[in-house]
Amino acid sequence: MAQVKNKKAPQPGIAKCPTGIPGFDEVTYGGLPRDRPTLVCGGPGCGKTLLAITFLVRGALDYNEPGVLVSFEETEQELTENVASLGFDLKKLVAQKKLAIDHIQIDRSEIQESGDFNLEGLFIRLGQAIDSVGAKRVVLDTIESLFSGFNNELVLRAELRRLFHWLKDKEVTAVITAERGAATLTRHGLEEYVSDCVILLDHRVDSLIATRRLRIVKYRGSSHGPDEYPFLISEQGISVLPITSLGFDYDVSTEYISSGITGLDKILAGKGFYRGSSILVSGTAGTGKTSMVAQAVAAACARGESCLYFAFEEASSQIIRNMRSIGIDLERGRKSGLLHFSASRPSAYGLEMHLSTIHGLTDELKPRVVVIDPVTNLGAIAPISEIKSMLTRLIDYFKMNHITAFFTSLTEGGQHEELSDVGVSSLMDTWLVLRTIQTDGARNRVLYVVKSRGMAHSMQTSLYQLTNQGVIVTADSRPGSGRGNMGK
């Protein structure tokens, strides 16, 4: 797999502490501020504790930085059980002296607010835990439980500042979680002002689909990604999906691969598609979009290349049966282990989870060819702008890994053929439009190439048929080849 060459490098200025959370260090341009406190706030169920624990676990495992977790709500046993499903073995890290966990139970009735109140007891206990493992990272979860009995804003602000200064003096990178307030980032509305970095997590439900978003509200001494970024909580843990993590500094191939259709290859400079390019096949219902990409998949399997087919409209068995009726044998590729299907309804989960699934299976199976059929079905769960953002990230990801990707797109009847319902045509290297025309009482299928970057190609419409030998492109429907230069 090709590696990303242009990840945002840590900037000069304040030192950064990498979190090890996929995507997060990219939008923060290197991680959290080292030896400074960071506030992570959000509502219930948004992932605050998980993000904080991931920060500790990845620090211990990947960066040899032991950590301390102080919980004011959950016991060590509860925390250990809660994150075990993500593959985090907290007991093992504790036994290896890479992690210290301390549960501090605070009884609100015992808290007496006075002018000379201080946190010396917490400092002593926390200092002992830090020294016991030589901690470089600290998590306090959650700060509301610590200050739940305070009503005097002056005392609260003073103690918050003292806590944050104490953490800085100990030279630890701290993550402090806080519940979101009704009209402020936190319930007290003070923590965000004394924090060097503030991360806001949001868990929302729109059209019955749950999504999570992350935003960097502030970051003293460093620039950062300014947008909201979707993030996921899955069996692999937490991951952020930033569009800014992907760029254009990747190698491109000059190798051609066949479409599996001789007539189509002739239209495309006589050679087919570039390896690692993105191909959009669009058209109205019944024009044979799936048949076209299925033949390309069968050709790839015949070359001994692995393929991954994401189906959002039909079950894999139905696709295999239907393609068999026109002479395309996908079952052979599946039995040989070269062809893998992932079939699901778009409404099964949110857009980010679909993206995560595609990334996960692609990383696991390492295909040379991927099919997304059809991308327009994703419109049932997200607006066009979000789908385009997702596909932008996906296309760049495929390109960086030299994966040839086929996307099918349904054009509604009555619309102009050169319109893509999900607005991604500009992202594609090659765009094929399929349509039906009626002449002399007969309906015929024709295709034409709207663009094919980097190669000469025919600009004329060509007839094609779905036969028992597969898709056959017969000839231009009009005289002349009409070859373009460098189709854009």
Inform me whether the pLDDT recorded for 247 exceeds 60. no
- How much is the pLDDT for 373? 92
Query: Does a structural domain hold residue 113?
Result: yes
The CA distance from 372 to 293, in Å, is: 10
- Whether 290 and 186 map to the same domain: the answer is no
- Whether 265 and 119 map to the same domain: the answer is no
Mean pLDDT over 224-250 rounds to: 71
- How much is the pLDDT for 105? 77
pLDDT band (50, 70, 90) for residue 384: confident
The CA distance from 250 to 232, in Å, is: 26
Mean pLDDT over 280-287 rounds to: 91
Inform me whether the pLDDT recorded for 115 exceeds 50. no
6-20, 79-93, 172-186, 385-399: least confident range? 6-20
Asked if 79 and 239 touch (Cβ cutoff 8 Å), the reply is no
Using alpha carbons, select from 433, 444, 428 the residue that is nearest to residue 411. 433
- How much is the pLDDT for 114? 42
Query: Does a structural domain hold residue 6?
Result: no
Inform me whether the pLDDT recorded for 148 exceeds 70. no
Q: Please state the φ and ψ torsions of residue 417, each to the nearest 5 degrees.
A: -60, -30
With H, G, I as helix, E, B as strand and everything else as coil, classify residue 119.
coil
Query: Does a structural domain hold residue 53?
Result: yes
Determine the length of the chain.
488
Long-range interactions of 57-64: CB distance < 8 A, separation 24+:
57/20, 57/83, 57/88, 57/90, 57/93, 57/99, 58/19, 58/20, 58/21, 59/17, 59/19, 59/20, 59/136, 59/137, 60/93, 60/98, 60/99, 61/20, 61/93, 61/98, 62/18, 62/20, 63/18, 63/20
Q: Could you give the number of structural domains in the chain? A: 2
Tokens for 25, please give them: 């260090």
Inform me whether the pLDDT recorded for 126 exceeds 80. yes
What is the C-alpha radius of gyration for the chain, rounded to an integer number of angstroms?
Answer: 28
pLDDT band (50, 70, 90) for residue 484: very low
- Whether 218 and 287 map to the same domain: the answer is no
Q: Which of 245, 267, 285 is the last residue of a domain?
A: 245
Asked if 299 and 258 touch (Cβ cutoff 8 Å), the reply is yes
Q: Which residue has better confidence, 481 or 366?
A: 366
Q: What is the pLDDT of residues 55-95, one digit of tens each?
A: 999 999 999 999 999 998 888 999 999 888 888 999 999 99
The set of residues, in sequence order, having a beta carbon less than 8 Å from that of 14 and lying 6+ positions away, is: 33, 34, 36, 220, 221, 222
Query: Does a structural domain hold residue 42?
Result: yes
Q: What are the C-alpha distances in Å from 291 to residues 211, 466, 468?
A: 34, 8, 12
Query: Does a structural domain hold residue 211?
Result: yes
Interior/surface letters 274-304, b for 16+ CB within 10 angstroms, e for the rest: bbbbbbbbbbbeebbbbbbbbbbbbbbbeee
Parent domain of 130 = 16-245
Q: How do 442-452 and 278-283 pair as beta strands?
A: unpaired
Q: Which of 245, 269, 294 is the last residue of a domain?
A: 245
Q: What is the pLDDT of residues 166-183, one digit of tens each?
A: 999 999 999 999 887 666
Inform me whether the pLDDT recorded for 392 exceeds 90. no
The set of residues, in sequence order, having a beta carbon less than 8 Å from that of 169 and lying 6+ positions away, is: none
* Residue entry with tokens 């990219």: 26
Mean pLDDT over 191-205 rounds to: 80
Q: What are the C-alpha distances in Å from 30 to residues 7, 224, 235?
A: 10, 9, 25
The set of residues, in sequence order, having a beta carbon less than 8 Å from that of 206 and lying 6+ positions away, is: none
| CA 67 to chain CA centroid, nearest Å | 28
What DSSP character marks residue 28? T
Mean pLDDT over 11-17 rounds to: 78
Using alpha carbons, select from 82, 121, 86, 80 the residue that is nearest to residue 104. 121
Query: Does a structural domain hold residue 336?
Result: yes
Interior/surface letters 466-479, b for 16+ CB within 10 angstroms, e for the rest: beeebbbbeebbee
Paired with 216 in beta bridges are: 199
Half-sphere exposure of 117 (CA within 13 A, CB side): 20
Number of C-beta neighbours around residue 156 at 10 A: 18
Q: Which of 224, 245, 266 is the last residue of a domain?
A: 245
- Whether 218 and 341 map to the same domain: the answer is no
138-142, 188-192, 413-417: least confident range? 413-417
Query: Does a structural domain hold residue 384?
Result: yes
Inform me whether the pLDDT recorded for 261 exceeds 80. yes
41-45, 182-186, 222-226, 315-319: least confident range? 182-186
- Whether 236 and 325 map to the same domain: the answer is no
The CA distance from 473 to 291, in Å, is: 12
| Residue-averaged pLDDT of the chain | 83
The set of residues, in sequence order, having a beta carbon less than 8 Å from that of 455 and lying 6+ positions away, is: 268, 269, 271, 274, 486, 487
Using alpha carbons, select from 24, 26, 31 the residue that is nearest to residue 6. 26
Mean pLDDT over 195-209 rounds to: 80
- How much is the pLDDT for 457? 86
Query: Does a structural domain hold residue 154?
Result: yes
Mean pLDDT over 448-459 rounds to: 88
CATH number at residue 37: 3.40.50.300
